[in-house]
Amino acid sequence: MPRPKAPCGTYSAYKRHLRDGSPVDAACAAARDERTQTVAAERSAKKFATPVLTLVPADPVADEKRMQRAEVLREGLEVVRAAIAVVKESEPARLAPLLKEQREIARELGEIDAAEGAKSESLGEQLARARAARQAGA
């Protein structure tokens, strides 16, 4: 048994008129206008109601300190993670660039940490490790 047709004066009836190629009556045109205004208002409210990111005022004391690259990246990673948390709920379509940025920052941090790990080992420690490896292999 088919569903009953929507009565004129509703958006569904307006769409039916378009599908069937029948003339749109005044009640259905008014329903279309009302629906268009409602959807536009919802989009506008959603777009402007919650900010994606809020700006934090700069701390003059922290700005005076010179930050190393790793510190800048870690701070950027925190900002990106906060943005991901907000965007995930409100605008999932904008999530991909943030995830890409997060991966890039994590990769750079990994490179810096690996380079610092190699630098922290003294020359004597490097030689001792190389000798031990040679002796173990011989």
pLDDT tens for each residue of 32-65: 999 999 999 888 887 776 655 666 666 655 544 4
Identify whether the C-beta of residue 29 lies closer than 8 Å to the C-beta of residue 35.
no
Terminal C-alpha separation, the chain: 86
Mean pLDDT, all residues of the chain:
82
Nearest to 107 by CA among 66, 82, 76: 76
- Put simply, whether the predicted model's pTM sits higher than 0.85 gets the answer no
Q: For the chain, how many helices (H) and strands (E)?
A: 6, 0
Residue 52 is predicted with a pLDDT of 58
Least confident range from 67-76, 97-106, 110-119: namely 110-119
Q: How confident is the model at residue 23 (pLDDT cuts 50, 70, 90)?
A: very high
In this prediction, residue 20 carries a pLDDT of: 92
Amino acid letter, 26: A
Q: Among 101, 47, 112, which residue's Cα sits nearest to residue 76?
A: 101
Compute the distance between CA of residue 104 and CA of residue 68 in angstroms, rounded to an integer: 17
Each residue's pLDDT tens digit, 57-98 = 666 555 444 457 788 888 889 999 988 888 888 888 888 998
Question: pLDDT value at position 64?
Answer: 45
pLDDT for residue 26 is more than 50: yes
Band of residue 137 on the pLDDT scale cut at 50, 70, 90 = confident
